[in-house]
Every structure is written in structure tokens, then in C-alpha cells.
Amino acid sequence: MDAETTAKKLTELRDELMHERGVAAMGGAPPNPGKIRALRKNIARILTIMREEELAGGAGAPAKAAAAKSAPAGDET
């Protein structure tokens, strides 16, 4: 999947989750009780894939963050 398709799918899943939560909040019995959990998991999967692709594009970023977390400034003896 390319980034545009992934973002579109994420939007669709979030809209569907919002609808299902609205039905549950109104007191309606959902036709499929496990659908909210499945939607949340699918959204998390897509966000994970997007994050992995983001980190793969900028492979130098984690090393830079690790260097910034080195010894505190007061410990220079």
C-alpha cells in the first residue's frame, strides 16, 4: 500500500469506529459486539505500519536522539 491509500483506509476506519461508538453510546445493541475492538486493532496496525515507514525513511533519527540523551550536563568531571 502506498501512503495515500493507507491514509484513506485509516480515515475510513476512524469514521466507522466513531459510528460504532455512537451506536453503543445511544444504547443500541451493535450487531457485532467485537467490531469496535477489531476496528481499534486495525487502526493500530495501520498506524504502526505508517510509523515504521516513517522511521525507515529517516534511519539517522534514532541515533541522533540517543546522542542527545547522553550524560547530563552537570556530570562533566
- For residue range 10-68, what is the model confidence (pLDDT) as tens digits? 999 999 999 999 988 888 777 788 999 999 999 999 999 999 999 998 765 555 454 45
Domain ranges of the chain: 3-58
Confidence of residue 2 (pLDDT cuts 50, 70, 90): confident
Provide the 3-class DSSP secondary structure of residue 77. Answer: coil
The whole-number pLDDT of residue 6 equals 93
The whole-number pLDDT of residue 27 equals 86
Cell representation of residue 35? 467490531
CATH topology of domain 3-58: Helix Hairpins (1.10.287)
Nearest to 14 by CA among 59, 58, 47, 53: 47
Provide the 3-class DSSP secondary structure of residue 17. Answer: helix
pTM of the model: 0.68
Question: Residue holding cell 466513531?
Answer: 18
